[in-house]
Amino acid sequence: MVRWFVLFVRTGEENKIVGYLKEKLRKDTYLPFVLTKEAVFWDKGVPTLFRKILFPGYVIVQTECDADIVLEDIKCIIEFSDNWIYRVLSYSDNEKDIMMHESEQALWQSLVDSDFCITASIGVMEDEKIRITSGALKHKENCIKRLNRHKRKAIVEVGFAGKVVETTVVVEVKKVSNQCKTGGQP
């Protein structure tokens, strides 16, 4: 079973650390990555999508290894990382409880694409409720806590590293009138 574990690292060095881990860890056993998201940059009123790190200061490593093996493999790397990697996050007082909880990991895997990025979503308003028709939040409307249609942002609440966190996700919303939904002429 593929599991994720989270490293607490020096902020601003996440991509450099991913490269370092790819050099030091067995390629057939470990896949280090950074969670990213699409964000909107407004240039003269025109929205442009770009990717940014979702959780600065964290790198995730995917593996099928047990916690004991991961701790053994990563211990030496942390010692020789020039203080780039601070520690492996633990989910309890037990230092071997380092793997992301299954429910948390399953949600993240359903949110990200193959590049571990939360992509923009498109939705429609129906009777003051949003229904996401495509993108990362499709069928996950219950994660949306607040929506700002004008800025094309949704505040979503998700679990990460054993805590509930809020983050923004790009959502383009289109209004649907009741007449259109029932098949009548607008």
* Number of CB atoms found within 10 A of residue 59's CB: 25
* Number of CB atoms found within 10 A of residue 68's CB: 10
Q: Tell me the one-letter amino acid at 64.
A: E
CATH superfamily, domain 3-182, is: NusG, N-terminal domain (3.30.70.940)
**Looking at residues 144-164, what average pLDDT do you find?**
88
Highest mean pLDDT range out of 2-11, 42-51, 90-99, 155-164? 2-11
Model confidence band, residue 92 (pLDDT cutoffs 50, 70, 90): confident
Ranking 69-83, 89-103, 165-179 by mean pLDDT, the lowest is 165-179
Instruction: Supply 3's token pair.
Output: 């599991």
Query: Does position 179 have pLDDT exceeding 50, yes or no?
Result: no
Burial of 101 (0-12, 13-18, 19+ CB in 10 A): middle
**Looking at residues 161-171, what average pLDDT do you find?**
90
Provide the whole-model pTM. Answer: 0.85
Q: What are the residue boundaries of the structural domains of the chain, listed by start? A: 3-182
- Tokens 């990563």 found at: 74
